[in-house]
């Protein structure tokens, strides 16, 4: 696959590469060209379990750095916090890292977001690179410069735009993932096609339809071509709207309700929460006469092929994790609480959601790429929708 260059005039660094390659070889090449002499890998317990010492040894053997460190965080969205950030920062300060030394993210979306945020604030900005090890991170978190941590008020509420110097997409990492993590990535990848490319969505759906082994799909040449097309869509949108002031907001399809679900029940992972949010938001779009009903049916059948439970309710998992919420009304109240604080919100008491007219055609009104829903109207909708 051919490498991709992302140009962002308003977000530093203004230009970076997405390399489709052996990630460790790419990192050693980067270090050879880099002025810094220290590098710190930030990863989590799960990734370390698979690649314990292998990445470090290969980098040490192939580059001119004299100090290679590692910082391992606990795995999970609940550790994407200021506490974890402080731990990484303290390690960088104790080991006297300079701005031009290198921070390397090796992991999924949580590690990518954490590492990028640390890089953006350490001495007002240090160099970082990212090796996404999940499909979801390859098509989403690693591209576009969004860095963030969570707090008590919601997901990704504290952060900034700060690009990596390089993104290394190495699909060999996908072979280590369980099927559910691959499905999450396919949900996120398909989002780009739902928004912008009906033909590629149908091609992806056809590939999934022909197999009951998702892992074999991931390794196919057809899927790799669709992976490239999905990343190209993300690149194009990011370049057009670097600060998420307009078009880029549509990439949050399913995320308003999805992020609220994640806050209510951290046992539901990001990709599956977004699937639930996507179907809920598009169902609302049908109710107000914007979304094509046949398009929603195409998307729900696609999710069903992969065994994705896209419903919201006690019987669908929401609320049965931390806190064990059994009351539908409590679930709805908590959803509204987090949705009203959504980052995309620009109007008081309005909840912004992303809609499509049909697959491949985004919805846009005269003012915005989001549909601003009155808080009470959303509550009434959820009363009927939540099981």
* Cα→Cα distances 58→28, 32, 163, 260, 325, Å: 8, 13, 25, 41, 47
Are 344 and 239 contained in the same domain?
yes
Residue where a domain terminates, one of 139, 161, 176: 176
Give residue 61's pLDDT: 67
Q: Which of 5, 2, 23, 1 is nearest to 14 (CA)?
A: 5
Give residue 295's pLDDT: 98
CATH code for the domain in which residue 198 is found: 1.20.1090.10
Residue where a domain terminates, one of 176, 201, 221: 176
pLDDT digit string, tens, across residues 117-137: 999 999 999 999 999 999 999
pLDDT digit string, tens, across residues 160-202: 999 999 999 999 899 889 999 999 999 999 999 999 999 999 9
Are 95 and 195 contained in the same domain?
no
Residue 113 has pLDDT above 80, yes or no: yes
Are 231 and 319 contained in the same domain?
yes
Give residue 63's pLDDT: 62
Give residue 321's pLDDT: 45
Cβ 190 vs Cβ 204: under 8 Å: yes
**Hey, is 68 helix, strand or coil?**
strand
CATH code for the domain in which residue 13 is found: 3.40.50.1970
Are 298 and 258 contained in the same domain?
yes
Cβ 84 vs Cβ 18: under 8 Å: no
In the chain, the number of structural domains is 2
First to last CA, the chain: 44
140 band by pLDDT with thresholds 50, 70 and 90: very high
Are 107 and 209 contained in the same domain?
no
Are 128 and 204 contained in the same domain?
no
Give residue 265's pLDDT: 85
Q: Which of 137, 159, 140 is nearest to 23 (CA)?
A: 137
Are 225 and 97 contained in the same domain?
no
Are 48 and 156 contained in the same domain?
yes
pLDDT digit string, tens, across residues 92-112: 999 999 998 999 999 999 999
**% residues pLDDT > 90 (the chain):** 72
* Cα→Cα distances 327→234, 313, 315, 324, 330, Å: 38, 9, 11, 9, 5
Name which residue leads in pLDDT, 383 or 324.
383
Residue where a domain terminates, one of 147, 176, 205: 176
Show the domain range for 197.
179-385
Are 169 and 272 contained in the same domain?
no
Q: What is the pTM of this model?
A: 0.92
Mean pLDDT of all residues belonging to the chain: 91
pLDDT digit string, tens, across residues 240-274: 999 999 999 999 999 999 999 998 888 888 999 99
Are 75 and 206 contained in the same domain?
no
Are 27 and 95 contained in the same domain?
yes
pLDDT digit string, tens, across residues 330-364: 889 999 999 998 887 888 889 999 999 999 999 99
- Enumerate the H helices of the chain as residue ranges: 23-33, 45-51, 54-62, 82-94, 109-121, 135-136, 179-196, 198-209, 214-218, 221-240, 255-264, 270-287, 293-305, 328-339, 375-385
Give residue 320's pLDDT: 44
Cβ 239 vs Cβ 246: under 8 Å: no
Are 76 and 199 contained in the same domain?
no
- Cis-peptide into 248, omega within 30 deg: no
């Amino acid at each position: 696959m051919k490498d991709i260059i992302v140009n962002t005039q308003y977000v530093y660094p203004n230009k970076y590469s997405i390399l489709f390659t052996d990630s460790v070889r790419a990192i050693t090449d980067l270090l050879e060209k880099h002025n810094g002499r220290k590098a710190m890998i930030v990863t989590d317990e799960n990734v370390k379990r698979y690649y314990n010492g292998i990445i470090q040894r290969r980098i040490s053997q192939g580059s001119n750095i004299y100090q290679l460190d590692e910082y391992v965080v606990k795995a999970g969205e609940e550790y994407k916090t200021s506490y974890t950030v402080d731990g990484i920062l303290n390690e960088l300060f104790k080991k006297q890292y300079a701005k031009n030394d290198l921070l390397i993210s090796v992991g999924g979306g949580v590690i990518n977001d954490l590492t990028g945020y640390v890089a953006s604030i350490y001495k007002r900005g240090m160099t970082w690179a990212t090796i996404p090890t999940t499909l979801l991170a390859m098509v989403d978190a690693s591209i576009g410069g969004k860095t963030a941590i969570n707090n008590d008020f919601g997901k990704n509420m504290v952060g900034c735009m700060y690009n990596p110097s390089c993104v290394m997409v190495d699909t060999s990492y996908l072979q280590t993932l369980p099927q559910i993590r691959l499905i999450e990535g396919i949900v996120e990848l398909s989002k780009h096609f739902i928004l912008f490319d009906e033909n590629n969505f149908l091609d992806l759906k056809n590939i999934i339809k022909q197999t009951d082994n998702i892992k074999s799909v991931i390794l196919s040449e057809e899927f790799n071509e669709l992976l490239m097309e999905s990343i190209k869509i993300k690149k194009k949108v990011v370049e057009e709207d670097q600060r998420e002031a307009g078009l880029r907001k549509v990439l949050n399809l399913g995320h308003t309700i999805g992020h609220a679900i994640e806050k209510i029940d951290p046992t539901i992972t990001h990709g599956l929460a977004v699937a639930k949010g996507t179907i809920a938001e598009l169902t609302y779009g049908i109710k107000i006469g914007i979304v094509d009903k046949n398009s929603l049916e195409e998307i729900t059948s696609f999710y069903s092929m992969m065994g994705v439970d896209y419903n919201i309710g006690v019987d669908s998992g929401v609320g049965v994790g931390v806190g064990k919420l059994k009351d539908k009304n409590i679930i709805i109240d908590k959803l509204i609480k987090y949705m009203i604080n959504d980052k995309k919100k620009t109007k008081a008491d309005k909840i912004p959601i992303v809609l499509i007219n049909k697959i491949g055609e985004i919805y846009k009104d005269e003012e915005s790429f989001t549909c601003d829903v009155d808080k009470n109207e959303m509550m009434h909708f959820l009363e009927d929708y939540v099981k």
